[in-house]
Amino acid sequence: MGKGKARKVNRYSNEFKLTAIKLSGMPGTRIKDVAQTLGIHPFMLSRWKKEYREGKITGKPHADLEKLVRMEKKVREQNRIRELEKALQKAKMENDLLKKTIEFDAERRRMPSPLLNGIVKTTVSPSSAATSRSQKAVTTRGRGAR
Higher pLDDT, 41 or 62: 41
- The reply to whether 142 falls in a domain is no
Residue 69 domain-assigned (yes or no): yes
Q: Is residue 2 part of a domain?
A: no
As a whole number of angstroms, the distance between CA 36 and CA 34 comes to 5
Q: What is the pTM of this model?
A: 0.43
pLDDT tens readout for residues 29-56? 788 888 888 889 999 999 999 999 998 8
Kindly tell me the number of DSSP H helices and DSSP E strands found in the chain: 5, 0
**What total of structural domains would you count in the chain?**
1
| Confidence band for 146, pLDDT divided at 50, 70 and 90 | very low
Say how far apart CA 46 and CA 20 lie, in whole Å.
10
- Cα-based torsion angle of the residue sequence 127, 133, 139, 142 in order, rounded to the nearest 10 degrees: -100
Domain extent at residue 46: 14-86
For 36-63, give the DSSP string.
HHHTS-HHHHHHHHHHHHHT-S-S---S
Q: What is the pLDDT of residues 64-117, one digit of tens each?
A: 756 766 777 788 788 899 999 999 999 999 999 999 999 999 988 888 766 655
Which residue did the predictor score with more confidence, 32 or 60? 32
Residue 66 located in a structural domain: yes
Q: Is residue 27 part of a domain?
A: yes
Q: Which residue has the higher pLDDT, 41 or 119?
A: 41
